[in-house]
Amino acid sequence: MEAQDSSFFDLGDNTALVCIDHQSYQKLVVPQLIDMTYKVHLGLFEEDVLLKLKTYSYNVVIVYENFKGSTPQNNPILHELIKRPGAERRAHFVVLISHRFATNDAMSAFVQSVDQIINIADLANFKPVLRRGVAQHRELYNSFHETLKAVQAI
């Protein structure tokens, strides 16, 4: 199965943007996302990713910490996601694929301003780890989103 990079999303689709330029990691992640019924776009270079983030509202954004030779501190995609307004930022579930941090390390995720960390060593189990993280995120932010909708309706 291949990522549907040229396809448009339909309302109600689960959508994912995969910003992993390391091919073997990408080959582990993308099929698991497709298996979870996500429609996947690949972000292969910075300008492409930034344009896609402006054009689409992705449910999940997966960012490799060393995208194009960067580090978490100077990663252009993480930087772009962090500087977005709060409500817009919380619309995405951001996953950092990391060599340095442990899977589900909540403190490191907080420090890196992402929702979940998945270590490279756990990519074979990406699907169940992501599924659990997204479910916890939905539970945590459900009341926030309901309140936001109610306030916007006024």
Query: Residue 137 has what pLDDT?
Result: 85
Are the CB atoms for 117 and 102 separated by under 8 Å?
Answer: yes
Q: Pick the range with the lowest mean pLDDT from 4-8, 87-91, 109-113.
A: 4-8
- Please state which CATH number belongs to domain 14-153: 3.40.50.2300
Tokens of 110: 């907080």
Kindly list the domain boundaries of the chain, sorted by start residue.
14-153
**pLDDT, average across residues 19-47:** 95
Instruction: Kindly indicate the confidence band of residue 2, based on its pLDDT and cuts at 50, 70 and 90.
Output: very low
